[in-house]
Structure 1
C-alpha cells in the first residue's frame, strides 16, 4: 500500500514514515459502478484516493445538463478542495466501474496537515497543477476548433490513463459518448464524426470500454 500512496501526486515527496501516517487515517472502501460518492454543493467531509477503477467528476446546470470535468483513475485524488476551504463541494463524484478507494476524513486530515508541512506543500502543488489545467481548458474552449478539442482530449486521456506498447497506446475509459463529448466541450454528433474520421485513418481502434491510439498514424 505504501508503494501505491507514493504514486499519488499529493504524497510523492513524502518519506515512508510520513506515508505510514497517511495510511493510519485512511479507510479502504469498495464501491460498485454508478455510486455517487458526493454531490455538488454538499459539505465536504472526506476526500478520496483511487486505488483501482475510475471516477467521473461532473457538474449539472440549472436545466439538469451534465458536464464531465475530468476522470480520476488509479493514483489520482479528488475532493480535497472542500476540506481545505470549508466550502461546499464544487462538483459531484460518481464511480464509472467497480472502484477501490482510500477515504480520508476531514478532522484527521487537517490534523495531519498541521503536523506535516511537506504534506500541505504537496497539496498546494497539486492544486496549482489543477488550476493550470482549468485555465488551459478555458483557453481551448475559446480558441480551438471542435475537431482539435476532441483530438487533444483523447491525447490527454491517453497520457493520463493509457498503457504504451511501442507505437500504440491502449486507453481504458469507462465513459460513454455523451461524457466524452462533455469533456471535450463539443456536441455528441461532432464527437462521433471526429471519431469516425480518426478510425478510418487508422489513428483509433475501438474495443469494449477502451480505445487504442496509433502514434505513427497520429503523427502522419
Structure 2
C-alpha cells in the first residue's frame, strides 16, 4: 500500500537556509519531511518575514496547497540539511480518483493533522485576544486601583 505513495513521491534535498517553497507561489505540492526540519515563515503587513513554526522530520508541510489547490500561505526554508519527498496535487488526486486505499488513508491523516494545527491556532488566537484585552483595559484598571487605594480610603 505504501508503495503506491512512494511511486508518486519525488525525493528532493535542500541545504541549510535554502528555500523549499515561497509564500504566494502557485505550486500545489505537499512535502513529507524525511530528514531535517523546515522553518515556516509568513510576511506581516510590513512585509517582514515572521517565523510561524519549525516542522520536524516525520511530519509534512504544504497540505493546504495540496488539498485546496491554492497558492502557498507561507514560505518554508531548510533548517540544516533537509530531505523531503514531494507529492504533487495532480499525482495525489490521480490516486484518489482510482480509489487507492493508501491515498485515502493519507487523506484522512492530513485531515487529522490539519485539525490539530487548527486547534493550536485557535488556542494561540485566544491568547492574543486575552493579551489585547488586558492591554486595552490597563488604563481602566490603573484608574480603578488609584480610586481603591487613594480616593476611596476609609
TM-score computed with the length of structure 2 as normaliser:
0.75
User: What CA distance in whole angstroms lies between the structure 2 residues aligned with 1:22 and 1:131?
Assistant: 25
Report whether the alignment pairs 1:40 with 2:23: yes
> How many angstroms does 1:111 deviate by?
1.7
User: Per chain length, whose mean CA-contact separation is higher, i.e. which structure has more relative contact order (CA < 8 Å, sep 6+)?
Assistant: 2
1:94 alignment partner, one of 77, 90, 110: 77
**Number of residue pairs aligned between Structure 1 and Structure 2:** 128
Detail structure 1 runs of 4+ shifted over 6 Å in the superposition: none
Report whether the alignment pairs 1:103 with 2:95: no
SS at match of 1:57: strand
Report whether the alignment pairs 1:141 with 2:124: no
Specify the alignment match of 1:127 in structure 2.
114
* Structure 1: runs of 5+ lacking an equivalent: 1-16, 146-220
Report whether the alignment pairs 1:24 with 2:11: no
Bigger Rg, which one: 2
> Does structure 2 retain, via aligned residues, the 8 Å contact 1:44–1:79?
no
Pairwise CA RMSD of aligned residues? 1.7
> Does structure 2 retain, via aligned residues, the 8 Å contact 1:29–1:101?
yes
> How many angstroms does 1:58 deviate by?
0.9
Specify the alignment match of 1:54 in structure 2.
37
> How many angstroms does 1:144 deviate by?
5.9
> Does structure 2 retain, via aligned residues, the 8 Å contact 1:113–1:119?
no
